[in-house]
Amino acid sequence: MKKAYILAHAFWVVFSCAAAAESWRLGFGSFVRPGPGFVPFLSALVLGGLAVAALVQAILDKAGTAAGGVFDIKDLRRVLLVLVVLAAYVLAWDFVGFLAATLLLLFFLFRCVEPLRWRTVLIAAVLTLTMTYILFSTLLGARLPPGRIWTYFMN
């Protein structure tokens, strides 16, 4: 079983290196004017770092329990529920807008997927949404979808 984990993590290391190389070829740009390879390159770096950490952990694991447990049907239901909610999240952008849809998604993820206290959920969701808005709208100048419902009430 340990060999399977090592091979799986090694695959992700190689995949992230290939993705980073291809993203670099697309053009990284700068932090002020990011190119088409900016986000994929950073994503490949994060994936590669996590894959290397998991690979090292799997290699150093003496007992061969790198995964930490067996995947059961309850976990599969949770993954499918998150996929459905993520699809609904993207569809909700057009109607309620990026900010409201993201806040609802964060509430769902923080409360339903890994239950946290409501105070923690509220603080984490608002902080995450604020940082996301500052990053994309203010620093990168991206136009986030306002949503039809808000533009209807504003006009």
Q: Could you state, in order of their start, the residue ranges of all structural domains in the chain?
A: 2-60, 73-154
Separation CA 131–CA 113 (nearest Å): 22
In the prediction, which pLDDT does 139 show?
86
Summarize pLDDT for 64-91 with one digit per residue, the tens: 555 555 566 777 888 899 999 999 998 8
Helical H runs in 2-155? 2-26, 38-60, 73-96, 98-108, 118-133, 148-154
Report the Cα 80 to chain-centroid distance in Å. 16
pLDDT in tens, 28-57: 887 788 888 888 999 999 999 999 999 999
Give the rounded percent of residues in the chain with a pLDDT score beyond 90: 37
Average pLDDT on 125-154 reads: 83
pLDDT attached to residue 73: 74
Query: CA–CA separation, 106 vs 71, rounded Å?
Result: 25
Cβ proximity of 152 and 99 under 8 Å: no
